[in-house]
Structure formats: C-alpha cells, structure tokens
Structure 1
C-alpha cells in the first residue's frame, strides 16, 4: 500500500458530477464557500475565474481542469467583469433541466462537479493542497493517464447509458487522484507534505508508518528507514509534513483504528494490537485523547 492510496482511503474520497451543459453569453456564476471541493472542466470555449485573493481574473480555455480543494468561493463567467448570479439556485435549475443560460449561440460547454472527503482525517495532506489546482492542455499532454481520466469524465457526463450515475461517481474519483498525482509531479520542488510523498528519504518513513503502524517505531528506527541521521530526519520531516514523526505516527494509528471500528468486526483488543498497543487500556486512553471520545462510544455511534 502506498502512502497516497492510504491517505485517500482514510479520507473516504467521494466525487460526482452536477451537470455538463452548454452556456450562451451573457452568463456568470458566483459559487459560495462550501464544504465540498468543487471542480470545473472546460470542454469547449473560454471563461474567466475570479477569486478574492487573485489580483487579476484567470482565463480558462477548452481542455482546462480546475479544482478548488477547499471549496473556496469563486466566480466563473463569460467575461472578466460580468456580474454573477448566486450559484446554488442556478445549479439546481440546471440539474432540473432548466438551464437559464440556454440560447442560440452556445459556444461554451462546461462540466461541473464536486469531491467530498473527511477533511479531519489527514490534516497534513489536506493543508498542503492549494486553493486552486489549474491544469491546462499542456499539463495534460505530459500525463497520458490524466488525459484518459478526463476523457472518461467527459464521456460519462454526456452519456445516457445504463449505469451512468455510479460510473460518473467512480470516474470523477479517478480524476481527482490523477490530478493530485500530476500536481505532485509538477510541483516536486515545493516544501510541503505533497513534496514529502516524493522525497526519497521522508517518503520511506511515511511508507513504513502507513504500512506497519503496529511496529514499535521510534525517531531512531524511522531515521534508519529513511537513511538519515536522527536530527536531520526529525528536522526534515517536521519541515515538510508540518508535525513531528511521532505525532504523525499517532495519527496514522488512530485513523486506522477508527476505520476498523467503523467498518470492521474486530474486538477493541484486536484493534489495539493492529495499531501498535500492547494493552487495550493504553489504546483506549490514546483514542480518547485523540478523538475526545472512547472507542466503545464511537463504535456504538
């Protein structure tokens, strides 16, 4: 199991498409801050992206993929200064086949959807994601697998074949993973958790913590796994991941334990052993400190 796969599995990634529609100018959507990450695929034409922290509107053209991992408020429109209508009621109308931007000259087509995940599950990963991930046609050409995922999303968004709904969910989840993979490779020099996944030393320590959380890891043994001295490893890990190795290990163990409680049938004693605790009492105390709830109460819930 690689680290990114384990993180995304823990986050319970889900995704789907709201709509794939053609618009006729003038049009503009003001999409408010939300709990879900939103995405837009520009299939044809051009539009403009505006956000409060952007100095200038950003042009988006056919073939572009835009993901807002933190669900940030933004505006997309046919012109950079176009007044925008509230997004939620417009999206509801489009889903109900009442597209208010229909017209005779629909030279713009867009696919809009969302990604949903438990943001509290992997804070270092989630915090490292930027407000905007914007990949263009040139970026897609570097990663053939990303282009394949995008084509699948576009095909299913315009399909009426049986199984469309469930398949749209799955291909959008694949798209998110592919975009994250591409982003990590394009920004391998960044100094954050995403860079840690590619770092030849720190990635080794992350891998053993995710793959073998039951082992009695220490700073020394993790440093040995990474091929670094104790002090260099601790400093480098904290710099990239944003927390200490032992706190990160605790998070891995607790997230695994929570998942086992939610979806498994193992006893609390068995779960304690799986996540590296020699007694269920010490496990219960650690779980209570981490989640502010006992394992038993969490299982009952």
Structure 2
C-alpha cells in the first residue's frame, strides 16, 4: 500500500496471478479494451484482473496511458494525492477451468460492495492510512479475505452463473469436486463418485454438463492434466512419478491423455519449459 504522485501508471499484467487494486483515496482510471471510455475509480472501489484479462493499465488520467513516467513517483500514503492497496494471488494452474470460468475483470464499486465486503475494504483503507505498528501485517491478513468475499459477491450478484465456484454451491457437487480436487490420484469412476454424492449417474451428468460443461470423468481428466502440467515444471520430477501421482497405472496411458490436452507429450512439455 502507498501513495503515488505525478503522471503515474500501473502495469500489473500477469499470466499467472490475480491482481487486485483497491483505491483508498483520490481517483484513477482503468484502461482496457473492456471499457470504453476508461473505467473511473473512486475511493473505495475495487478492481481485480485475472490472468486471462486483456492488456490493461491503471493511470492518473482518462485520456493518457503515460509509458514515460519519469515525473511520477511513489510516495507515502499521507503525501500522495492518490493511494492504493494492491496485492496478488499467484496461481499454480492459471489455465485451470476454475479460474477461466471467472470474469477476466471484476469491478466492485464502493456503493455495490455490500455490508461485509464494504466493512473489510474500509478497514484495509484505515490501516493503510494509519501507518501504525504492524499495519503491513494487518493489511496482509485482511487482504486474505478479499478474494473469498469477491467470489461471494459475484455469485450473489449473478456475475457468474457457471463454473466451479457456482457448482460448489450445490452440496452434493461440492462433495464430488472436493474428492476430485483433493484426491485426483484415486481411481474414481462414475459409480464411486455418485455413491459419495448420493446422486444417480443421470442427475450427476446433467448437473456437471450444465454447470461445468463436461462430464464428471472428463472434468477429472482435465483436472489431472492441469495438475500434471504444474508438477512437470518441478525440478527432479519425472514423467513416471507424475503419471503415478495423477492416478495412472502406465506412463503410456498418461502420455496419451496429456497429449490430448496439451498437444504434445509430457517429455516435450518439460523440455519446452526448461
């Protein structure tokens, strides 16, 4: 958190992280192909950018994106006419369906935040402005709740009507998704998943198709491949070990499934990373 002076510009574009920007005082503008004219931000407004958001910038002006910022500088909260609290959530699997189902940009104006989120935002702003003992640590902990409350806001305001976060509002689907996400190596079948959820195969398939766009087993396979792509980035992790951790008895079967998802073998994927 802190203040900014002059012709300031913020470029927090990321392919792997969710960035949030809370404007604590002053005003600013978000420049993105999504908004024409640029989105005006006032004190108390919150905006989040997910990895699949288009190129965007925050600027001091609705008319200019000043790439030459030699006359801009960071300042203390008290000194700067504009003050921000910014943070990021680094994602290990940014291309996962969990994140891709969310809006690329999420804007919550102060007047629309609702009581609980609004109170949290105001508490964060007060801590940022106070510069008291432990303020940084307090802000860090308070910001942990921002994302959860933003997801609640999006669901309750029907900004999202499909995807994992919506599906998990269904208690029985939450059970199934929890099993898949936490234990992807288990040899799950439609029968075993339906047994845990207390649903028929027909009902389970209809719910998954409507909310997630795939069958339970297709979703399981996609989730395993997303996790596999993350594990393959780890040094010292072999293809054989990744296959085992994803619940495959043979490297060959794992490699075929991986190639269907990523268009290349696990070995080639690793080489492309390294």
Give the TM-score normalised by structure 2: 0.70
Q: Tell me the CA shift for residue 73 of structure 1.
A: 5.8
Instruction: Confirm or deny that 1:43 pairs with 2:24.
Output: yes
- Which of residues 243, 247, 253 in structure 1 aligns to 2:224? 253
Name the residue aligned to 1:201: 172
Q: Give the Cα–Cα distance (whole angstroms) in 2 for the partners of residues 97 and 214 of structure 1.
A: 48
Q: Tell me the CA shift for residue 41 of structure 1.
A: 1.6
Larger relative contact order (C-alpha < 8 A, sep ≥ 6)? 1
Can you list the C-alpha shifts for 1:148-192, whole angstroms capped at 9, x where unaligned?
98459x63x99799xx8xx89977983663454443563479521
SS in 1 for 2:253: helix
CA RMSD, Structure 1 to Structure 2 (Å): 4.4
Instruction: Confirm or deny that 1:241 pairs with 2:212.
Output: yes
Residues 119 and 271 of structure 1, relative CA distance in 2, 3 Å threshold: closer
Instruction: Confirm or deny that 1:291 pairs with 2:262.
Output: yes
Matched residues, number: 265
* Structure 1, unaligned runs of 5 or more: 1-16, 99-103
Q: Give the Cα–Cα distance (whole angstroms) in 2 for the partners of residues 97 and 189 of structure 1.
A: 34
Name the residue aligned to 1:66: 47
Give the TM-score normalised by structure 1: 0.65
Q: Tell me the CA shift for residue 107 of structure 1.
A: 5.3
Can you list the C-alpha shifts for 1:107-144, whole angstroms capped at 9, x where unaligned?
54344566665775313432322532315367364149
Does the 8 Å CA contact 1:28/1:75 hold for their aligned counterparts? no
- Which of residues 226, 242, 251 in structure 2 aligns to 1:271? 242
SS in 2 for 1:201: helix
* Structure 2, unaligned runs of 5 or more: none
SS in 1 for 2:108: strand
- Which of residues 192, 195, 220 in structure 1 aligns to 2:162? 192
Does the 8 Å CA contact 2:103/2:160 hold for their aligned counterparts? no
Can you list the C-alpha shifts for 1:247-287, whole angstroms capped at 9, x where unaligned?
21112111222222222645433332221111122112222
